[in-house]
Chains A and B, each alone.
Chain A
Amino acid sequence: MNLRRVAVLLYKELRGPKNFIFIMAVVVPVALTLVISLLFGTFLSERPRLGIVDRGRSDLPARAAALESIQARTLDDDRALRAEVARGALDMGLVLPADFDARVAAGEPTELTVFVWGESLLRSRAILGTALLTLIRELAGRQPPVEVVTTLVGEAQSLPWEQRLLPFVVLMSLMLGGLMVPATSLVEEKQHHTLRAVTTTAATLGEVLAAKGLLGVVLSTFMAAVTLFLNRALGAQPALLVGTLAMGATLAAGVGLLLGVLVRDINSLFATIKSLGIFLYAPALVYMFPEIPAWIGRLFPTYYLIQPVIDIVQHGAGPAEVLPDLLILAGLIAALLAVVGLAGRRAMQRAG
């Protein structure tokens, strides 16, 4: 294998026209990260949403915004508040009269206008009602009648959905760039007969495969790192992380090259990838639902690609901790590349 020719072919891949999958490999991880943080930061959060219109200068909106158990924001007028509640953007809307704080402090009866979204859950209404009463009691200068001490018990841990979904997003970044890009590029070249044209020059099929595989490895390693950066999950061992991502990307690129060599047309390729989907993404499902026994994830090869990454970024693991999984991953990569080489040679022999 001539490294200079591989570099020339890789340069051609980078400079040449980009297909839809290449664009997807760049856009999807970023878009997915943004969507997940938007959804789980606000819309899928269990915190009920409160809107407040303050006709005076009450302290209540600032106090409500400081509470962690609810999401509170202020609006300019009753009409906007009403519209936001009616469309379900808020569970409850509250209109505070001009002299609200003074009346509460004086213990005078005070009337509040409250809009409630009809589909708001009972639990959300209860939480908001409690939070509001507590805040009003504080405004009135009344001390709670009891002292409350909270203790966490049991071994269960709260795992936010952003964290549960991170393995899926990272896996998708690695698969789109590492698997899909080399596979579609190879199949498209086969369909357009440009692969044969290239291999009639001095370049060998092995060099073409190496260039396409390298493109997938570089792209998916970069996009997986970008995804982790956007999720503020780079961990404390950047070199180990990048090395692990590159190994994962190599495994993905190996699968992509194998599919690219074996599959004849783009329709069959998409059908095959679709069928393989559950097999490739199964470990991510295990992370999403902690009720599924963790050992099930170990049955899938992509587990050894994603587990070390998650260990590094979420559990602060070092080289010693991730070494066993990385050794298995290295074994899988070696076996896969041997199969790709074999399949490539057979394809060349068939082509004549």
Chain B
Amino acid sequence: MNPSVLLVLLRKDLRLFFANRFFALVTGLALAAYVGMYYLLPAAVDETLEIGWVNPGLPARFADELEGEGVILHSYADAAALRAAVAAGEVPAGVAFPPGLMAALAAGARPTVEIFLAGDVPEELRQVYPLMVEEWVSLAVGRPIQIEAAEQVLGVDRTGQPVPPRDRMLPLFAVFVLFIETLGLASLIAAEVAGGTLRALLVTPLRVEGLFVSKAVLGVGLAFTQSTLLMALTGGLRHGAPQILTALLFGSLLVTGVAFLLASASKDLMSVMSWGVLAMLLLSIPALNVLLPGLVSGWVRALPSYPLVEAVHQVVNYQYGWSQIGGLLLALAGYAAAFLALGVVVLRRRFQ
């Protein structure tokens, strides 16, 4: 195909794409919104339980042991000071052990411990604090349970380094950005098919292959540029940039194939939107599974966006390399080739 013809077609398509006010607006707005949302989300996960306490005699090593288990203790002089601190929102919960606790326990008494909880502690967590206090005191007075736990950690052990929600959201943002470009391209092609301009172009020396190449280059170019910008602006390219860029390139090819399919089933923006929203929901499911692990079961692996989402997630959040995500990239390349080929065949049937 003649490169100069390709350039002319690309220029024309780009002009048409941005002449559509909706997609012109959404293209910029969506990218800005996703980047903004990323930076608004917390950069770290607070995985600790902060508790204020009045300690009248529990061993000092106790606090150290608890901190290793995710419990941060803040000391207060007496119950009144602790209560005031909880009311002021300094700590969400406070445990006031009574004076002479250890002596009372040694004497066989059952002393009363006061717990102060802030009103905004979720209902489901309110039961945890009494249980914790009972366990601490049981341990402190030497009444351990004779249980030996053989513990196995499954999956990547992120103890102390949980993945922040905003980094879990990145694959979802990437899918959305890729897909919004898909809707734009599908709408452009659908309008050209409905208006007969695609057929008109074939009256010129341009061949069908050239037409598809130009549309594919436009689709891949728009999707890849946007998603790369998203990753660059959110710091997603800090680790494993070659792997991420490869995944995004294959992802762009995949969504371009989907755009061809959408265009072949649609006649205007409304029908592109109706089919597109359905396809977008389906393709977003693997990203939701990264955001909320355990949300869906094994069938999610069959979705074509699964290898894209997993590759991005594993490189960004676990710093995996080629060897770990190679299989995913291969699967993604396969899906991309299949969808592109299917899209070309179906769309060609529609307008010829």
- A23, A67, A88, A90: residue with the most chain B Cβ atoms closer than 10 Å: A88
Let me know if B118 and A87 touch, CB within 8 A: no
Q: Does B78 contact A (CB under 8 A)?
A: no
Which residue of chain A is the closest to B160 with respect to CB atoms?
A122
Q: Does A118 contact B (CB under 8 A)?
A: yes
Which residue of chain A is the closest to B93 with respect to CB atoms?
A150
Interface segment, one of A126-134, A208-216, A238-246: A126-134
Residues of A within 8 A of B294 (CB): 43, 49, 84, 87-90
Residues of A within 8 A of B162 (CB): 119, 121
Let me know if A266 and B138 touch, CB within 8 A: no
A208-246 CB mask vs B (1 if < 8 Å, else 0) is 000000000000000000000000000000000000000
Asked if A23 meets B274 with Cβ closer than 8 Å, knowing A69-B124, A151-B117, the reply is yes
B102-119 CB mask vs A (1 if < 8 Å, else 0) is 000100001111111111
Let me know if A43 and B295 touch, CB within 8 A: yes
A155 to B70, CA, bound (A): 27
Chain B contact patch, size range? 35 or more
Q: Which of B118, B134, B147, B270 contacts A112, CB < 8 Å?
A: B147
| CB contact list, B47-64 vs A, under 8 A | 47-49
A175 to chain B, nearest CB (A): 16
Residues of A within 8 A of B23 (CB): 267
Interface segment, one of B82-90, B204-212, B226-234, B248-256: B82-90
Q: Does B130 contact A (CB under 8 A)?
A: yes
Q: Does B13 contact A (CB under 8 A)?
A: no
Let me know if A69 and B128 touch, CB within 8 A: yes
Asked if A157 meets B119 with Cβ closer than 8 Å, knowing A130-B128, A274-B22, the reply is yes
| CB contact list, A140-162 vs B, under 8 A | 140, 142-160
Let me know if B127 and A130 touch, CB within 8 A: no
A270 to B166, CA, bound (A): 28
Which residue of chain A is the closest to B71 with respect to CB atoms?
A126
User: Using a CB–CB distance below 8 Å, which chain B residues touch chain A?
Assistant: 20-26, 29, 45, 47-49, 69-71, 83, 86-89, 101, 105, 110-135, 137-138, 141, 143, 145-160, 162-163, 268-271, 273-274, 277, 292-295, 297
Closest 4 CB pairs of A and B: A88-B293, A89-B294, A122-B70, A20-B274
15 contacts between A and B (CB under 8 A): A47-B124, A69-B128, A88-B293, A109-B146, A111-B147, A113-B149, A114-B151, A118-B153, A124-B47, A134-B134, A144-B134, A151-B114, A156-B118, A270-B22, A274-B26
User: Using a CB–CB distance below 8 Å, which chain A residues touch chain B?
Assistant: 19-21, 23-24, 39, 43-47, 49, 67-69, 82, 84-90, 104, 107-119, 121-127, 129-131, 133-134, 136-137, 140, 142-160, 184, 188, 266-268, 270-271, 274-275
